[in-house]
Structure 1
Amino acid sequence: MPTQRLANRYFLVRAGDSVYEGQGLLRTNPVAKTSVDNGLSPVGLRQTARAALELQRLGACEDDCWIWPSITQRAYQAAEIIAAANGVNRSRIVPEYSFLDARGLGAFEGKSLDALPEVYAADNISPDLKPPPISDGTPNESVADVFVRVTQLMSILETQYSGETVVIVSPDSDNLSILQAGLIGLDLRRHSSLFFKPGEVRPVDPSSVPEYKQPGSTVFKCTNPPSCK
Structure 2
Amino acid sequence: MLATTTFAASNSNPPNPAHKNSSQYPPFSSNSRAAHIVSITRRGLLASISIALTPFLTSPQPQIKNPTHYADFISLPDSEARGLFQMPPPRLTNRYFLVRAGESEYESLGIINTNPVAKTSVDNGLSEKGKKQTVRAALDLKSMGACEGNCWIWPSITQRAYQAAEIIAAVNGVNRSNIVPEYSFLDARGLGAYEGKKLDSISEVYASDSLSPNIKPPPIDDGTPNESVQDVFVRVTQLMSILETQYSEDTVVIVSPDSDNLSVLQAGLLGLELRRHTDLAFRPGEVRFVDASSIPTYKQPASAVYKCLNPPNCN
- TM-score w.r.t. the length of structure 2 is 0.68
SS of 1:24's equivalent in the other structure is coil
Structure 2 partner of 1:155: 241
Write the letter of the residue equivalent to 1:213.
Y
CA displacement at 1:80 relative to structure 2: 0.1
Query: How far apart, in 2, do the equivalents of 1:37 and 1:85 lie?
Result: 24
Q: Which has the higher helix share?
A: 1
Write the letter of the residue equivalent to 1:212.
T
Structure 2 partner of 1:227: none
Q: Specify which of 134, 146, 168 is matched with residue 82 of structure 1.
A: 168
Write the letter of the residue equivalent to 2:161.
A
Higher relative contact order (CA 8 A, sep 6+): 1
Q: Does 1:194 align with 2:300?
A: no
Gaps of 5+ in 1: 222-229
Write the letter of the residue equivalent to 2:145.
G
Preserved contact between residue 3 and residue 204 of structure 1 (Cα < 8 Å): no
Structure 2 partner of 1:118: 204
Structure 1 partner of 2:157: 71
Structure 1 partner of 2:55: none
RMSD of aligned alpha carbons: 1.5
Structure 1 partner of 2:298: 213
Structure 1 partner of 2:75: none
Query: How far apart, in 2, do the equivalents of 1:190 and 1:40 lie?
Result: 28
SS of 1:5's equivalent in the other structure is coil
Write the letter of the residue equivalent to 1:52.
A
- TM-score w.r.t. the length of structure 1 is 0.93
Preserved contact between residue 107 and residue 131 of structure 1 (Cα < 8 Å): yes
SS of 2:96's equivalent in the other structure is strand
CA displacement at 1:17 relative to structure 2: 0.5
Preserved contact between residue 8 and residue 162 of structure 1 (Cα < 8 Å): yes
Structure 2 partner of 1:137: 223
CA displacement at 1:53 relative to structure 2: 0.3
Query: How far apart, in 2, do the equivalents of 1:94 and 1:213 lie?
Result: 35
Identity of aligned residues (%): 75
CA displacement at 1:206 relative to structure 2: 1.4
Structure 2 partner of 1:13: 99
Gaps of 5+ in 2: 1-86, 308-315
Q: Does 1:44 align with 2:139?
A: no
CA displacement at 1:208 relative to structure 2: 3.1
Write the letter of the residue equivalent to 1:73.
Q
Over residues 190-210 of structure 1, what are the superposed CA-to-partner deviations in whole Å (9 max), with x where a residue is unaligned?
10010000000000111234x
Query: How far apart, in 1, do the equivalents of 2:285 and 2:249 lie?
Result: 26
Over residues 102-141 of structure 1, what are the superposed CA-to-partner deviations in whole Å (9 max), with x where a residue is unaligned?
0000000001110111000000111000000001000000
Structure having the higher Rg = 2
Over residues 169-226 of structure 1, what are the superposed CA-to-partner deviations in whole Å (9 max), with x where a residue is unaligned?
00000000000001111110110010000000000111234x22242876249xxxxx
- After superposing the two structures, state which structure 1 stretch, 155-164 or 1-10, moved more: 1-10
Query: How far apart, in 1, do the equivalents of 2:300 and 2:93 lie?
Result: 32
Query: How far apart, in 1, do the equivalents of 2:150 and 2:304 lie?
Result: 43
Structure 2 partner of 1:23: 109
SS of 1:101's equivalent in the other structure is coil
